[in-house]
Structure formats: structure tokens, C-alpha cells
């Protein structure tokens, strides 16, 4: 039997991947939208639904960012509500290890696992910056170097609490000193599924040691295989089997009646994702300075990027450009060679969709990734709320089922069971 | 006058059906709200999640979880309750709880227990922050203006810039303003020292008799005062008689404690019909909890400032 593909549905996020200007785009906050996408994913026999977390609204140039979707719900509250309208679908959410506490979070996740009948999953991230900290009692207290220490100790502590079956615990480590009665009896999964997001070396090591799955970035086939191999090879060091850690990149896709039709649709979506205003804003993220005076339909700036990383123009988002000047020179050369405006260039160099083609081509490519050791499945990131996965579920899922690489009915009774995790 | 009726659920089950069944019964009987007990260290599920879990399965009944101000981050409290209001389409409330228990503090490991004055002063700060965050988005902040590429009008989002003795919060909220604007905030008022410290809409009290109930109501002008009433140990007729006798005290209503597994069914199946027969309870046709309780529309404090 060929390897089975894991599929997850990412609720559209607060970045320019999500197109709000399309007439079909629905509310990012009404429960109907969450329910619709979750029901669609369950109709498609997906493994889980995924929801990211907000801790502070993004800012650029010291102002609240207003060009993308803004505003989202509290993660675990929505997941608990979705447990009422779904039966088999896993319910995964990002919950930040910096701005939550182990007792409270372990209790919430165990509660969700009970109330959903064994479908809870936690995506662990950390944020060292002071920016988010301004919304929290403890402020931005975490050194960058300590973020994986905190994440690791947080996970270990949560697992200790889950193993008490509601009884007494005492944990003392570098981040926590807590004790008492946990109060939640063992939940259906025992331990909710743990995902780790982040492709850095520290993130890979954390995942190899503690996680059930990695929510990774998408890579081209060869790079993806190297990443996959690197992470899986780390498992033996922790006494873990190779299939005990799933690698699931977040990916976007565009379907068309023909490959050419799909390419055309993809370009149209890219233009929706990169409005003239967004083009300037994305350019500023590299240049690290105010470029509002530039014409998005004109040439790239001749001035060089600002290299001071201590005060970046964008707040609330991870840095993306290790060498600003080199990237800027590369972009300028490319724009000049192909006579591209700022907006054209940004459309080319940022966030092109990962899989573009007919349903049959996309099914074939996804399957190739999984069968040739590039990943174990995909977290699909639709560009429209809430109906962005309809075409995938209607067209691609049946083809994957025909290929024998995706379930036609749920077999496990928990998310762990469906994922093939112990 | 018609009274409001609520039920206090304090079960310890982790099975979803043990919550959905009684809350659906309360919903079908058109009770005004249910409260969900909670505390740290207790053997019961997280109340906000239980409320969210039953929200999509009910249409009328208000959902009022207990949540503790002392340890939970005020930002998380505000966004979780705002989200409960979104998923329930305007039926969320919050029963404020404080924690003076050292054993609870040790579960979190972040701070020593506070003394009474500090504890309630801080709870007052937390309620203030939670409320400011609910108002930090004006209702019409989302504009989706394709011409200028703007999803929101950022002038309609507000930093709350709260700085108190124990914490500070910048804002704005990550959650757009909840459907009710301000979900209903409730608290126990057994100790009258809390009365002036907490900005709440609903108080729960336990008067000994009708005279004492009337006195408390007089001393809490503008608040909806509910009497907590244990149903077990009384017949339906006795409970109805008691409610009738206290109905002229100015109490907004009663929060009934069912006691035992069949208590909710006894309330919805027997007591509620009896009270309706006596003209003491008429179900509200309103769907939002504020409106059910006759609370005024929640004016956005920042919108007021912007207009002034």
C-alpha cells in the first residue's frame, strides 16, 4: 500500500495571502466562516483544521497595519465551538509558549481533548520580542536564545501534567516552578497532538525531541527532501522511530480547467494579493524604511535598505531577510532586466502559489512529494474565506482517493489514530 | 413584572453530553442564561470552553462562564470572552472570580496570593482592561475599501494604554468588537466590600428573606440583582411560592441551583411551566443576552471620545 497523505485545512490568516477584496470573500470573524471551512474539511476527510493565534495587531511604520485582513478570534475558544459541529476532524491551534502558562494551557488543551472526543492539537510557537509583551502582564521577558528552552520545558511540563490523570504534580525547571493538583483526568488522546512550527536548526531539534509533527515551510522538491531527511535523521538520537514525527508543510494551490487556465487564475490571484499599496508595504519590509512616496507602478528605489535591525519597520512578524542589501540588489537587477515595476516585481518574488494546475496535475504533484520522501502531507492554505477549499475537496480529494493515497472514510477514533501516531 | 431565570451548572463531568443536555434543556425552556462554575485546581473542565462547546447547539440561552482575574492574562480573558460572544452570536457573559488561595497561586507559580484589598483592586483593573479591549474596535472599523487597499479604518481601532498597579496592557484587541459590544459581566456580591470596586452588570446575592432582598436591591441601584436559590429539598410548589413571595422586592430574577442530575429537568419541566402559569416568568424573544436582561445598548467609550 502506498504511503497515505495527511491533509489539513488552514483557516485563512492575517497576511496578504488572504484575499479580502474578492466579492466571494466572507467574514474573518463570524462563526459561520469557521464552521463552513471545518465542515468542508471534514467532508473531504481531512485530518485536521488549523487556526493560528493573534497576540497583537501588526504594525508598520508605527501604525496598525490596515491593508490585510485584521482581527481574529481567540484560538481555543473557536476550536471548542467547532467540536460541536464536527465529529472526526482534528482541531489544531497555535498557542504561544511565551504568553501562556503550562498549568492553564495544559488544562485547556486537555479540556478540549475531552470535549472533542480526542481531537485536540497544539502548535507550539514562541515569541521573544517586547512587541507582543506590551499586551501581557509579564511583558517581553524572553531572550531570543531562550525561546527553544522555554518551548521545550513548556512541552515537558505539559506532558507531566497530562500524565497525572488529574492528580498531583510538582515541576521545577529553568522556566517554571509549579505544583498542585492538575484536576483534569486523562483525556482520550492522553497527550494532545503537538506540532512545532519553524524550520530553523533549533526548531528542528525541538521537533525531533518533542513534537508529533512539524508545520514547515514549503520547499522545492530537492530542498524538501533534504529538509525531510535532516529532520528524520535527528529522531534516532532521541530514541524515536522515523514515522513518529510527521512533516507537513503549509502550501497554497490554484486549480484550473487546463494548466494554462490555472496559471492565468494564479496570476489574477497574485494581483489581488498584491494591491499597489501592498506592493509598497512588502518592499518596505525589505528596505526597512518608509517608501510611501514611491510609485508602485514605477521602478525600484535607488537608495539602499536600512540595515539597522534593532528597529525594524514592521512589528509583529518574524524577520524574513538575513541580508537586506544582497536581496535588494538582486531584486533591482531582476526588475531592470525584465522591465518590472515595483508591483510586478513584488508579485514575482513574494509568495507565488506552490501547486498550480489541473486537479489531476496537482494531485499527481502532491502525491510525488509524499511518495518520494519530501513530506508526509500538507496544510492547505486557501486564499478565500470561507469557501477557499471547496474546489480542492470536490476535485483533488477524489483523485487522491483513486490513487489509494488518501482515506475514503475516517478509521481512527482520535486525531492521533488518524495520523498514525502512537 | 416578569422575572429573569438562570441556572447555575457546577458539574464536574468532562463528557460533552453531560453539558450539552442540560444547556439544551435550559435553551428550550427559554431560560435567560446558565452559568458554568470553574476554579483552578478543581476537578472540572475549563468553563469558557464548555460554554463555547455548547454555543453552536443552542440559540437563545445566555452562556456565562466563571473565569478568574487573578492569574489569567487580562488580554486572554478579554479575547476569549469576545470570541465566546462571536461563536454564540451575542449570548456571552462572564462571572468574575478572584483567587486568594495559595494552592491556586502555586499552580501558576507566577506570584504570591494578594490580600483582600489588592485582590479586588486588581480584579477591578482586570474588568476595566477587558471592557476597554472589547471597545477597542469600533463596530464599523472594517471597511474593505478596495480603492485605497484598506481592510480597516485604523482610526476606528484604539490603543487602550492601561497602566495599573499590577500590570499594563497596550491594545487594541485582536478580536473585532463582540456582537453585544459589551458581553454581560456578573459577580457574586455576598461581601458588600466588592460592590464599589467592580464594574459589573449582574450581581448574585443570597438574601435570607424578602426584606433583606429588597434592602440589597435598593443599595445596588442600576444593577441587575439575582438571588441564588437552591431548588433541591423543595417541591416545585414551594419553590414557586418562594419566588412569588420575593417577586416584589425588585430582584431582577433568580439563579437556580439544580443540585443533582435531574435538577435541570425538574426546573425546565416543572418549575418553569408553573412560574409561567402564575405569570411570574415570560420568556424573552430577544437573542442577545444584554437585551434579554434589559441592559441598555453598550455605547463604545472610544466612539464617544472620538465624537466629543
Provide mean pLDDT across the span A338-363.
95
User: What is d(CA B67, CA A276) in angstroms, rounded to the nearest whole number?
Assistant: 45
Q: Which residue has 498542585 as its cell numbers? A: A180
Provide mean pLDDT across the span B197-217.
95
Helix (H, G, I), strand (E, B) or coil at B127: helix
Q: How far is CA B250 from CA B62, B189, B243, B295, in A?
A: 22, 16, 12, 15
Q: Which of A21, A54, A76 is facing B49, going by the closest CB pair?
A: A76
Provide, as residue numbers in chain B, all residues whose Cβ is less than 8 Å from the Cβ of A24: none
Which H or E element spans position B142?
strand B142-145
Provide mean pLDDT across the span A277-296.
94
Q: Residue A301, Cα to own-chain centre: how many angstroms?
A: 32
Which H or E element spans position B257?
strand B253-257
Alpha-carbon distance B39 to nearest alpha carbon in chain A (angstroms): 10
Domain boundaries, chain A: 6-256+354-419, 275-349
Which H or E element spans position A354?
none
User: What is d(CA B29, CA B272) in angstroms, rounded to the nearest whole number?
Assistant: 7
Q: Which of A34, A63, A115 is facing B45, going by the closest CB pair?
A: A115
User: Cβ contact (<8 Å) for B75 and A80?
Assistant: no
Q: Which of A195, A250, A251, A208 is nearest to A419 (CA)?
A: A195
When pLDDT is cut at 50, 70 and 90, the band that residue A230 belongs to is very high
Write down the pLDDT at residue B305.
67
Provide, as residue numbers in chain B, all residues whose Cβ is less than 8 Å from the Cβ of A181: 41, 43, 103, 107
Instruction: Please check whether residue A161 touches B, CB under 8 A.
Output: no
User: Cβ contact (<8 Å) for A31 and B151?
Assistant: no
- Given a cut of 60, is residue B252 above it in pLDDT? yes
Q: Which of B41, B153, B175 is facing A180, going by the closest CB pair?
A: B41
User: Cβ contact (<8 Å) for A78 and B82?
Assistant: no
**Domain extent for B262:** 4-307
When pLDDT is cut at 50, 70 and 90, the band that residue B266 belongs to is very high
Provide mean pLDDT across the span A328-332.
95
User: Cβ contact (<8 Å) for A77 and B176?
Assistant: no
Mean of all residue pLDDT scores within chain A:
95
Provide mean pLDDT across the span B257-282.
93
Q: Which of A73, A80, A276 is facing B175, going by the closest CB pair?
A: A73
Here the cell at position A271 is 494581483
Chain A from 367 to 406: CB within 8 A of any B CB = none
User: Cβ contact (<8 Å) for B149 and A101?
Assistant: no
Q: Which of A52, A77, A12 is nearest to A195 (CA)?
A: A52
Alpha-carbon distance A418 to nearest alpha carbon in chain B (angstroms): 21
Q: Which of B14, B107, B157 is facing A114, going by the closest CB pair?
A: B14
Provide, as residue numbers in chain A, all residues whose Cβ is less than 8 Å from the Cβ of B157: 57, 64, 70
Contact B177, B138 (CB under 8 A): yes
Residue of B nearest to A130 (CA): B170
User: Cβ contact (<8 Å) for B149 and A275?
Assistant: yes
Mean of all residue pLDDT scores within chain B:
95
Alpha-carbon distance A132 to nearest alpha carbon in chain B (angstroms): 9
Contact B263, B233 (CB under 8 A): no
User: What is d(CA A216, CA A227) in angstroms, rounded to the nearest whole number?
Assistant: 9
Taking only the tens place, the pLDDT of each residue in A47-78 is 999 999 999 999 987 899 999 999 999 999 99
- Given a cut of 80, is residue A311 above it in pLDDT? no
- Given a cut of 60, is residue B84 above it in pLDDT? yes
User: What is d(CA A392, CA A387) in angstroms, rounded to the nearest whole number?
Assistant: 10
pTM for the structure as a whole: 0.96
A315 prior amide bond cis, ω within 30: no
Write down the pLDDT at residue A38.
98
Q: Which of B247, B21, B47 is nearest to A80 (CA)?
A: B47
Cα torsion angle, A199, A202, A207, A208, sign: positive
For the CA atoms of chain A, what is the radius of gyration?
22
User: Cβ contact (<8 Å) for B14 and A57?
Assistant: no
User: Cβ contact (<8 Å) for A85 and B107?
Assistant: no
Q: How far is CA A391 from CA A48, A352, A382, in A?
A: 18, 19, 10
Chain A from 219 to 248: CB within 8 A of any B CB = none
Say which CATH number the domain at B144 has. 3.20.20.30
Write down the pLDDT at residue A60.
82
Contact B270, B236 (CB under 8 A): yes
When pLDDT is cut at 50, 70 and 90, the band that residue A317 belongs to is low
Helix (H, G, I), strand (E, B) or coil at A333: helix
Task: Write the CATH number of the domain with boundaries A6-256+354-419.
Answer: 3.20.20.30
Write down the pLDDT at residue A319.
67
Write down the pLDDT at residue A349.
92
Which residues have CB under 8 Å from A200's CB, separation 6+?
none
User: What is d(CA A366, CA A375) in angstroms, rounded to the nearest whole number?
Assistant: 9
User: Cβ contact (<8 Å) for B108 and A66?
Assistant: no
Provide mean pLDDT across the span A114-135.
93
Taking only the tens place, the pLDDT of each residue in B97-118 is 999 999 999 999 988 888 999 9
- Given a cut of 80, is residue B307 above it in pLDDT? no
Q: Which residue has 468532562 as its cell numbers? A: B14
Write down the pLDDT at residue A363.
98
Which carries the bigger pLDDT value, residue B283 or residue B41? B283
Provide mean pLDDT across the span A229-249.
97
Strands (DSSP E) contained in A239-357 are 246-251, 253-255, 314-315, 355-357
Contact B169, B160 (CB under 8 A): yes
Provide, as residue numbers in chain A, all residues whose Cβ is less than 8 Å from the Cβ of B86: 29-31, 73
Provide mean pLDDT across the span A245-270.
97
Suggest the residue from A32, A35, A60, A77 to mutate for an interface test with chain B (most B CBs closer than 10 A): A77
Q: Which of B214, B207, B244 is nearest to B229 (CA)?
A: B207
Write down the pLDDT at residue A79.
98
Write down the pLDDT at residue A1.
85
Q: Which long-range contacts (CB under 8 A, 24 or more apart) does A196-204 make?
A: A196/A123, A196/A124, A196/A151, A197/A94, A197/A123, A197/A124, A197/A125, A198/A125, A199/A227, A202/A147, A202/A148, A203/A148, A204/A230, A204/A231, A204/A234
Q: Which of B52, B75, B149 is facing A80, going by the closest CB pair?
A: B52
- Given a cut of 70, is residue B306 above it in pLDDT? no
Q: What is Dmax (Cα atoms) for chain B?
A: 67
Ordered DSSP codes for A194-239 = EEEE--SHHHHHHHHHH-SEEEE----HHHHHHHHHHHHHHHGGGT
Q: Which residues of B175-186 are buried (b: 16+ CB within 10 A; e: fewer)?
A: bbbbbbbbbbbb
User: Cβ contact (<8 Å) for A135 and B169?
Assistant: yes
Instruction: Please check whether residue A84 touches B, CB under 8 A.
Output: yes
User: Cβ contact (<8 Å) for B108 and A136?
Assistant: no
Q: Which of A71, A83, A136 is facing B175, going by the closest CB pair?
A: A71
Question: pLDDT exceeding 70 applies to what percent of chain B?
Answer: 98
User: What is d(CA A76, CA A71) in angstroms, rounded to the nearest whole number?
Assistant: 15
When pLDDT is cut at 50, 70 and 90, the band that residue B11 belongs to is very high
| CA contacts within 13 A on the Cβ side of B276 | 13
Provide, as residue numbers in chain A, all residues whose Cβ is less than 8 Å from the Cβ of B287: none
Suggest the residue from B37, B76, B85 to mutate for an interface test with chain A (most A CBs closer than 10 A): B76
Q: Which of A31, A67, A80 is facing B53, going by the closest CB pair?
A: A80
Taking only the tens place, the pLDDT of each residue in B220-249 is 999 999 999 999 889 999 999 999 999 999
Which H or E element spans position B294?
none
User: What is d(CA A251, CA A354) in angstroms, rounded to the nearest whole number?
Assistant: 6
Q: Which of B46, B71, B176 is facing A108, going by the closest CB pair?
A: B46
Q: Could you give the dihedral angle defined by the CA atoms of residues A339, A343, A347 and A349, in that order, rounded to the nearest 10 degrees?
A: 70
Suggest the residue from A67, A82, A106, A115 to mutate for an interface test with chain B (most B CBs closer than 10 A): A115
Q: Which of A31, A66, A71 is facing B87, going by the closest CB pair?
A: A31
Q: What angle do CA A18, A20, A22 make, to 5 degrees?
A: 110
Question: pLDDT exceeding 70 applies to what percent of chain A?
Answer: 99
Which residues have CB under 8 Å from B10's CB, separation 6+?
B37, B44, B257
Taking only the tens place, the pLDDT of each residue in A76-117 is 999 999 999 999 999 999 999 999 999 999 999 999 999 999
Provide mean pLDDT across the span A255-275.
97
- Given a cut of 80, is residue A33 above it in pLDDT? yes
Instruction: Please check whether residue A101 touches B, CB under 8 A.
Output: yes
Alpha-carbon distance B5 to nearest alpha carbon in chain A (angstroms): 25
Taking only the tens place, the pLDDT of each residue in B155-192 is 999 999 999 999 999 999 999 999 999 999 999 998 88
Q: Residue A307, Cα to own-chain centre: how many angstroms?
A: 28
- Given a cut of 90, is residue B127 above it in pLDDT? yes
Alpha-carbon distance A116 to nearest alpha carbon in chain B (angstroms): 8
Q: Which of B73, B144, B54 is nearest to A67 (CA)?
A: B144
In what side-by-side order are the strands of the sheet with A59-60?
Answer: A63-64, A59-60, A314-315
Considering its fold, how many domains does chain B have in total?
Answer: 1
Write down the pLDDT at residue B87.
98
Q: Which of B290, B227, B282, B246 is nearest to B89 (CA)?
A: B290
Amino acid at each position: 500500500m502506498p504511503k497515505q497523505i495527511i491533509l489539513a485545512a488552514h483557516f485563512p490568516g492575517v497576511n496578504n495571502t488572504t484575499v479580502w477584496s474578492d466579492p466571494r470573500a466572507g467574514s474573518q470573524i463570524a462563526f459561520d466562516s469557521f464552521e463552513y471551512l471545518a465542515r468542508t474539511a471534514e467532508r473531504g476527510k481531512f485530518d485536521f483544521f488549523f487556526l493560528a493565534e493573534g497576540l497583537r495587531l501588526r504594525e508598520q511604520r508605527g501604525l496598525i497595519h490596515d491593508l490585510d485582513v485584521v482581527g481574529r478570534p481567540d484560538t481555543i475558544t473557536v476550536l471548542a465551538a467547532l467540536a460541536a459541529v464536527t465529529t472526526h476532524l482534528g482541531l489544531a491551534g497555535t498557542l504561544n509558549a511565551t504568553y501562556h502558562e503550562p498549568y492553564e494551557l495544559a488544562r485547556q488543551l486537555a479540556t478540549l481533548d475531552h470535549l472533542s472526543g480526542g481531537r485536540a492539537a497544539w502548535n507550539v510557537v514562541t515569541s521573544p520580542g517586547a512587541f507582543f509583551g506590551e499586551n501581557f502582564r509579564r511583558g517581553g521577558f524572553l531572550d531570543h536564545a531562550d525561546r527553544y528552552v522555554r518551548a521545550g520545558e513548556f512541552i515537558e511540563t505539559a506532558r507531566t501534567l497530562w500524565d497525572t490523570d488529574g492528580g498531583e504534580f510538582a515541576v521545577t525547571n529553568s522556566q517554571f516552578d509549579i505544583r498542585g493538583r492538575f484536576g483534569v483526568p486523562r483525556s482520550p488522546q492522553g497527550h494532545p497532538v503537538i506540532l512545532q512550527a519553524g524550520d530553523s536548526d533549533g526548531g528542528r531539534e525541538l521537533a525531533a525531541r518533542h513534537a508529533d509533527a512539524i508545520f514547515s515551510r514549503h520547499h522545492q522538491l530537492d530542498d524538501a527532501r533534504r529538509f525531510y531527511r535532516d529532520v528524520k535523521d535527528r529522531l534516532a538520537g532521541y530514541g524515536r522511530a522515523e514515522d513518529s514525527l510527521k512533516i507537513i508543510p503549509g502550501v497554497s494551490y490554484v486549480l484550473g480547467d487546463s494548466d494554462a487556465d490555472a496559471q492565468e487564475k494564479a496570476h489574477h490571484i497574485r494581483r489581488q494579493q498584491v494591491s499597489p499599496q501592498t506592493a509598497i508595504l512588502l518592499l518596505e519590509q525589505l528596505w526597512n524604511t518608509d517608501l510611501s512616496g514611491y510609485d508602485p507602478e514605477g521602478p525600484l528605489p535607488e537608495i539602499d535598505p536600512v540595515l539597522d535591525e534593532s528597529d525594524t519597520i514592521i512589528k509583529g512578524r518574524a524577520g524574513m531577510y538575513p541580508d537586506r542589501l544582497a536581496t535588494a540588489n538582486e531584486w533591482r537587477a531582476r526588475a531592470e532586466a525584465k522591465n518590472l515595476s515595483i508591483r510586478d516585481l513584488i508579485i514575482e518574488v513574494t509568495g507565488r502559489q506552490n501547486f498550480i494546475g489541473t486537479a489531476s496535475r496537482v494531485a499527481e504533484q502532491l502525491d510525488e512529494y509524499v511518495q518520494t520522501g519530501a513530506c508526509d502531507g500538507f496544510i492547505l492554505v486557501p486564499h478565500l474565506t470561507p469557501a477557499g477549499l471547496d474546489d480542492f475537496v470536490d476535485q483533488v480529494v477524489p483523485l487522491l482517493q483513486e490513487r489509494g493515497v488518501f482515506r475514503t472514510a475516517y478509521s481512527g477514533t482520535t486525531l492521533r489514530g488518524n495520523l498514525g501516531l502512537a | 413584572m416578569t422575572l429573569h431565570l438562570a441556572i447555575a451548572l457546577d458539574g464536574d463531568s468532562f463528557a460533552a453530553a453531560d453539558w450539552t443536555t442540560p444547556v439544551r434543556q435550559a435553551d428550550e425552556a427559554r431560560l435567560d442564561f446558565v452559568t458554568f462554575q470553574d476554579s483552578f485546581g478543581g476537578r472540572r473542565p475549563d468553563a469558557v470552553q464548555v460554554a463555547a462547546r455548547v454555543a453552536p447547539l443552542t440559540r437563545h440561552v445566555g452562556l456565562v462562564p466563571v473565569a478568574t482575574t487573578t492569574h489569567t492574562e487580562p488580554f486572554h480573558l478579554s479575547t476569549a470572552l469576545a470570541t465566546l460572544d462571536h461563536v454564540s452570536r451575542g449570548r456571552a457573559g462572564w462571572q468574575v472570580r478572584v483567587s486568594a488561595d495559595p494552592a491556586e497561586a502555586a499552580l501558576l507559580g507566577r506570584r504570591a496570593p494578594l490580600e483582600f484589598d489588592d485582590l479586588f483592586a486588581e480584579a477591578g483593573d482586570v474588568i476595566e482592561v477587558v471592557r476597554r479591549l472589547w471597545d477597542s474596535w469600533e463596530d464599523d472599523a472594517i471597511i474593505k475599501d478596495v480603492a485605497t487597499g484598506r481592510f480597516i479604518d485604523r482610526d476606528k481601532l484604539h490603543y487602550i494604554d492601561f497602566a495599573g498597579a499590577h500590570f499594563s496592557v497596550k491594545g487594541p484587541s485582536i478580536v473585532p468588537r463582540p456582537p453585544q459590544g459589551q458581553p454581560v459581566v456578573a459577580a457574586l456580591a455576598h461581601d458588600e466590600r466588592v460592590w464599589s470596586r467592580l464594574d459589573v452588570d449582574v450581581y448574585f446575592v443570597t438574601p435570607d428573606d424578602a426584606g433583606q432582598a429588597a434592602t440589597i436591591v435598593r443599595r445596588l441601584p442600576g444593577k441587575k440583582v439575582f438571588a441564588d436559590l437552591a431548588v433541591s429539598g423543595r417541591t416545585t410548589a414551594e419553590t414557586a411560592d418562594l419566588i412569588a413571595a420575593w417577586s416584589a422586592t425588585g430582584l431582577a430574577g433568580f439563579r437556580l441551583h439544580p443540585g443533582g442530575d435531574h435538577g435541570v429537568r425538574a426546573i425546565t419541566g416543572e418549575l418553569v411551566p408553573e412560574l409561567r402559569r402564575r405569570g411570574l416568568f415570560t420568556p424573552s424573544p430577544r437573542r442577545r443576552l444584554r437585551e434579554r436582561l434589559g441592559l441598555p445598548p453598550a455605547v463604545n467609550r472610544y466612539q464617544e471620545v472620538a465624537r466629543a
